[in-house]
Amino acid sequence: MVQDFIQQTDDRTRQLTRDLLRQIHHAVLSVIDEAHGYPYLARIACQADEDGIPLAFLSEIAVHTRLLESQPKAALLIEAPPGRGEAMAQARLSLQVVARRLPDHGPAHAARLASWLAHNPKSRAYAELPGFHFWRLEPHAGLLNAGFGQAYRIGPGDIRTPPADHVRGR
């Protein structure tokens, strides 16, 4: 990323980043459509995993999932839920990520699914359909926009938290 005019990341912006991630139910995913040379965009179901890293829950027949399977370098836009203010003035986090599909069995999968459903009970509608899988979206680089003209560079170390700090119901 071009990195001019970007301010120094501090504890406040690191906390804002983690808070943003902790409350999301969905995010915007961008994948590269290599056959046509364009990016491709979709809104996806997304939450923070146990250690704060973004976790997606994707249908294997979706266009974006198929593109992700051939090119795992992707991007994610995470925004605060709509409030009273203008979306352009609200905090948002733009991440470049590497996507990795997780196994669909074992105690780690069961714990992840239970945590996902606890954080968003309405997700049961799709979570139990066949062909949905968890994907970890490991951050490579990021930019936090905390309002007009306030940009901060965010790295993987600003996002990952020890599981003990994790506040979601388990």
Interaction between residue 124 and its own copies (CB under 8 A): no
Closest distance between its own copies and the C-beta of residue 32, in Å?
6
147 vs 89: CA distance, rounded Å: 5
Kindly state the DSSP code that residue 129 receives in the 8-state scheme: S
**Among residues 169, 167, 160, which one has the least CA distance to residue 115?**
169
Q: Among the candidate windows 76-84, 106-114, 130-138, 161-169, which touches its own copies by CB under 8 A?
A: 76-84
Tokens found for residue 168: 């979601």
Report the C-alpha gap between 28 and 61 in whole angstroms: 18
Binding its own copies (rule: CB under 8 A), the pick from 105, 130, 148, 167 is: 148
- Determine which residue in the list 51, 79, 113, 136 makes contact with its own copies, applying CB under 8 A: 79
Place of tokens 């003035």: 89
φ, ψ for residue 113, nearest 5 deg? -65, -40
Query: Please, which of residues 10-69 interact with its own copies by CB under 8 A?
Result: 25-26, 28, 30-33, 36-43, 45, 61, 63, 66-67
- Give me the least distance between CB of 104 and its own copies, in Å please: 21
Residue 149 half-sphere exposure, CB side, CA atoms within 13 Å? 0
CB of 8 to its own copies, least distance (A): 17
Q: Which stretch binds its own copies (CB under 8 A): 8-16, 87-95, 105-113, 154-162?
A: 87-95
Distance between CA 65 and CA 67 in Å, rounded? 5
Instruction: Retrieve residue 133's tokens.
Output: 């899988």
- Contact residues: its own copies, CB under 8 A: 1-2, 4-5, 25-26, 28, 30-33, 36-43, 45, 61, 63, 66-67, 73-77, 79, 82, 86-88, 92, 94, 96-97, 122, 126, 140-141, 143, 145, 148
